[in-house]
Amino acid sequence: MDTNTLDLRAIEQVVATVERTQRAKDAEGFLALFHPDALWTTAHGRVLVGFDEIAEFTRAVLPDAVWSGDVTYEPIHVRFLRQDVAAVKIRQVYHAPTGDTEGSPLYVMTKTSDDRWLLHVGQNTEVRTD
């Protein structure tokens, strides 16, 4: 198996872990996916700079988040900007009893010296249908 295929599988695993930790409201599992110098922008435009800010926000919001239904995350496009940097476009769908809503995150992921892929930059955008 070539390196590109291994990296794609590893990136898909990170996205699957984002989905799993969001569904489980597992703040610590979610935070384990972040680079220490990460920059994250929520779907509602809140900018979080650095791991400490992301962690404070996540620990305050995720465990008590209220929603009915499930959320799915699907990597729909991966572009390697360098062999250790990838832009990953995500299709995020909240499946609720009242109907589905979508988000359109873009993750910039970086590969560490021990070959782990981490979330380095995230920009989520709510998809409006009106």
pLDDT in tens, 85-130: 999 999 999 888 888 889 999 999 999 999 999 999 999 888 877 6
pLDDT at 2: 61
56 vs 44: CA distance, rounded Å? 17
Kindly state the helix (H) or strand (E) to which residue 99 belongs, with its residue range. strand 99-103
CB 112 within 8 A of CB 34: no
What predicted TM-score, i.e. pTM, was given to this entire model? 0.91
Q: Can you name the residues that pair with 85 across neighbouring β-strands?
A: 82, 110
Tokens representing 88 are 């990953």
